């Protein structure tokens, strides 16, 4: 009976990959490798290139990580060691619960609450700092690449904080005492001993967050503008692989349009699998070093 369950599970997993590839096959066959490198996405001329969405996915994720890594690490350290005990527990639980807030609610908040602030405060300030040129050029409309990055950062923070806090707390107390016994201050102990000791696990937390940001769909689809072209500014509307699928799937009626969207899903699946396998191996190797150190 259990064996049957396992077979169903594996069939599900393999079936998912096979079904996607099968559905996308016509697009891959027709466009070849140019599908990955093409920058045009135009149903009218039947030209489909996924590069704008691949780049959009990488850009929003990069923005999110630049914001989330320092804040997340600082928060994790506070929750693991720095705040008063009782506060650690309360805030830690709060962060974990917030991880349960659905993506579509972040999207709603991002679109209806944060986007106006983005238009009137965040983008003008960043535009001013960069002299309204380069990455900060163009009209400041609120939604777009930058807002998607910011909201993604907020969304991955609970995961990043919860995992990093756990690996930081798993640093053996003899390591901490070893540093203290040499006359290290609390900061030195944290930065030079605790964080380096936990670095693999923290890297795992970051990688897992990257995987989450890659695949995040609803919130991004609601706030990025879903424009199928390469963004030339932080303020440009853009699209990620997941957002363009959510946005156009039900309206895809032209030849190859639906197959091309599914082909993007195949690419997204491959990227997510790579990142997730890496993350799991990293988080797992943490478990192993703990064992071997004992």
Q: Which of residues 24-63 bind another protein (CB under 8 A)?
A: none
Measured in degrees and rounded to the nearest 5, phi and psi for residue 48 equal -130, 110
Closest CB 224 distance from another protein, rounded Å: 12
Residue 210: name the closest of 167, 265, 274 by CA. Answer: 274
Residue 215: name the closest of 14, 64, 91, 110 by CA. Answer: 64
**Nearest 5 degrees, angle CA 188-CA 192-CA 195?**
115
Evaluate whether 275 touches 210 at the Cβ level (below 8 Å). yes
Closest CB 24 distance from another protein, rounded Å: 9
- What are the residues whose beta carbons fall under 8 Å from the beta carbon of 281, sequence distance 6 or more? none
Closest CB 19 distance from another protein, rounded Å: 4
Closest CB 133 distance from another protein, rounded Å: 28
Q: Which of residues 170-209 bind another protein (CB under 8 A)?
A: 172-185, 188, 192-193, 196-197, 199, 208
Query: How many residues of this chain bind another protein (CB under 8 A)?
Result: 100
Q: Which is nearer to another protein, 78 or 137 (CB)?
A: 78
Q: Applying CB under 8 A, which part among 58-66, 118-126, 230-238, 261-269 lies near another protein?
A: 261-269
Q: Which of residues 124-153 bind another protein (CB under 8 A)?
A: none
Q: Does 222 bind another protein (CB under 8 A)?
A: yes
- What are the residues whose beta carbons fall under 8 Å from the beta carbon of 13, sequence distance 6 or more? none
Closest CB 139 distance from another protein, rounded Å: 19
The H or E element that residue 236 is part of is none
Of the residues 29, 62, 89, 94, which one makes contact with another protein according to CB under 8 A: 94
Q: Which of residues 72-91 bind another protein (CB under 8 A)?
A: 72-75, 77-79, 82-83, 85, 91
For 27, other C-beta atoms within 10 Å of its C-beta total 22
Q: Does 122 bind another protein (CB under 8 A)?
A: no
Q: Which is nearer to another protein, 98 or 230 (CB)?
A: 98
- What are the residues whose beta carbons fall under 8 Å from the beta carbon of 262, sequence distance 6 or more? 20, 23, 24, 27
Q: Which is nearer to another protein, 105 or 134 (CB)?
A: 105
Evaluate whether 275 touches 44 at the Cβ level (below 8 Å). no
Q: Which is nearer to another protein, 138 or 158 (CB)?
A: 158
- The residue to which tokens 């806090």 are assigned: 165
Q: Does 215 bind another protein (CB under 8 A)?
A: yes
- The residue to which tokens 């309206």 are assigned: 251
Evaluate whether 148 touches 235 at the Cβ level (below 8 Å). no
Q: Applying CB under 8 A, which part among 25-33, 125-133, 229-237, 246-254 lies near another protein?
A: 246-254
């Amino acid at each position: 009976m259990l064996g049957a369950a396992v077979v169903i599970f594996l069939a599900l997993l393999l079936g998912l990959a096979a079904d996607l590839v099968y559905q996308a096959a016509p697009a891959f066959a027709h466009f070849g490798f140019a599908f990955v490198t093409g920058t045009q996405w135009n149903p009218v001329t039947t030209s489909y290139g996924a590069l704008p969405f691949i780049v959009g996915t990488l850009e929003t994720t990069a923005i999110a990580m630049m914001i989330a890594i320092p804040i997340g690490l600082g928060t994790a350290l506070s929750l693991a060691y720095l705040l008063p005990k009782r506060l650690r527990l309360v805030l830690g639980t709060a962060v974990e619960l917030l991880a349960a807030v659905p993506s579509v609610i972040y999207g709603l908040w991002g679109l209806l609450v944060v986007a106006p602030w983005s238009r009137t405060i965040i983008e003008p300030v960043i535009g001013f700092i960069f002299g309204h040129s380069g990455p900060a050029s163009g009209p400041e409309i609120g939604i777009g690449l930058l807002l998607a990055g910011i909201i993604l950062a907020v969304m991955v923070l609970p995961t990043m904080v919860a995992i990093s806090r756990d690996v930081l707390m798993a640093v053996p107390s003899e390591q901490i005492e070893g540093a203290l016994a040499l006359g290290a201050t609390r900061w030195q102990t944290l930065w030079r001993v605790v964080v380096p000791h936990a670095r693999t696990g923290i890297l795992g937390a970051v990688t897992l967050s990257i995987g989450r940001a890659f695949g995040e769909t609803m919130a991004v689809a609601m706030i990025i503008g879903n424009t199928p072209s390469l963004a030339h500014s932080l303020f440009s509307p853009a699209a990620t692989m997941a957002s363009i699928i959510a946005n156009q799937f039900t309206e895809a009626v032209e030849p190859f349009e639906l197959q091309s969207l599914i082909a993007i899903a195949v690419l997204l699946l491959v990227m997510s699998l790579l990142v997730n396998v890496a993350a799991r191996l990293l988080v797992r190797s943490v478990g192993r070093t703990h064992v071997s150190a004992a």
